[in-house]
A and B are shown apart, each in its own frame.
Chain A
Amino acid sequence: MADVLALIDANNFYASCEQAFDPGLIGRPVVVLSNNDGCVVSRSSEARQLGIAMGKPYFQIAKQLARHGVVVRSSNYALYGDMSQRLMSSLEPFVAELEVYSIDEAFARLPRPRNGELRTWAGELRSRIRHNLGLPIAIGLAPSKVLAKLANRIAKGDHRHAGVFDLGRENSHDPWLEQTPVEEIWGVGRQLSRWCRLRGIANARQLRDMGSGELQAKAGVVGLRLQLELAGVSCLPLEEGPTAKRETCVSRSFSRPICHELELRKAVASYVVRAAEKLRRQQQRSGRLTVFARTSPFTSGFYSQAASTALPVASNDTNVLLQAALPLVALVYRPHKRFAKAGVLLQELQGQDQLQHHLWTTLTAEQQQRREALMQSIDQLNHRYGSGTVTWGACGLHNPWMMRREQLSRAATTRLRELPTAWAQ
């Protein structure tokens, strides 16, 4: 029998991770805030039932949250990243192929059993993940990726489905497609959905059945594929394994605007340190470095500038990258501008193995090795004692523009000093 595609994702992933390592939060309303404690990005089901909306700025609802006794947490990326890896590797043995699509969701392919029934499989998978990781998941099953995503949405939308919906077992897809607004279809962006609405196409069933010519004229081959996928013809393949990254970016919004060049330099320097760490972890080197900075797009006099430089030899050495990046800050900086965000982009990444040898460097092989050993020790120290334990003078100390994470929980799964306590009392 034909294969089935599944979209498996964790419900309220961030909030669920917080609850998994703080038993005091089980059954209580929890919200997780975005960077800089900006707005609500994840809600436990208890918080959702209180009517707390997604995306609401924290300062607007802080009082409401306090009144309801809602627990507020800053985004704890160390914890979520580790739990994501655990989730994905736990899914692996249950499926034939897995494509990790985002931090909390994955597409999978699996064979449909002879009797066609996947409920037992899905139930077993859900209770395994719940038991082993403490995470609730939802599973959508269908003949194509677009439909699997749609089925997942149905699985989560009604508790009677118990987190599993198999579109392939339904006699007709039509009623399910009809209850899916075009805006909710995977791959339909704001522009296309607006275009659909103008033509009276409001749901997935109507989009599937509209004239292909018209859709192709608007959205090209992407539109045709979308229509086929909605009709249950799989044409988007699973992408297996993480494709080696071609570039890596570290950028942050500041908790308050930056006006001084020195402050901008410190911010950029700290992003370079972070990006270089990332490269070393990915065992890659960068051949080109770009620094960018911009003011807020919501204020008048919007300003955005980038500057780029090629590195003589691809590198992941923080010193080398800092030396390349810091002169670029002067090029993007403008006096009297209130910078809201800056970042560093490392491009032309190459693997360690394809390293073109050091014919150009001024360092001897031994000096080079010592530099690499130094970077390694710094990474290990930062891993062990917390990020930022060892850093570079260029980054400065105690920077007021740094990310606000006032309600951060512990890195309960990745840091020895922040482990949860098992009480023996």
Chain B
Amino acid sequence: MEQDEVKVWDPFVRTFHWALVLSFTVAWLSGEELETLHAYAGYAVAGLVLLRMAWGVIGSRHARFSDFVYRPAEVRSFLGDTLRLRARRYIGHNPAGGAMILLMLVTLLITAVTGVAYYGIEDAAGPLAMLAGGSGTMKDAMEELHEFSANLMLLLVLVHLAGVLLESLVHRENLVKAMFNGRKHA
């Protein structure tokens, strides 16, 4: 570690982040064609999200919900400052980043639950196989919601990437690198 650097992201935060990137990408790409791979990638996403939620309570300082959940007013004012390119720098997640994490976790949970429910009704497979033969309306609703939340997740990913790029430029630091080695300059 260089002298003026501090540890920010613990090993689990980083492992989680990149394992989620991989699982979500696989799930997204296999969605229409490879049903089994899609289901397993979805299980991986769901498992990772649950681990992250537990970690948000028992994890290291900057991994905790209490460290990155801000009041909506603070998120708004941070976004306003960001657009004027004068947002202050946070060592952990900034208010907008924290809000994005919550949005993503919830969106992924909805995607996973509706996916598993659809899989159960349609194919009598997976953890909710007992829903098999459920009503067609229910099945269609699950399918619609699953697709909607998956698309929403893709949109959130794009906004997240734009946010990372913008903050990296404004504060002249490489946030992508920090998510690999866990370190930021002090």
Indicate, yes or no, whether A interacts with B.
no
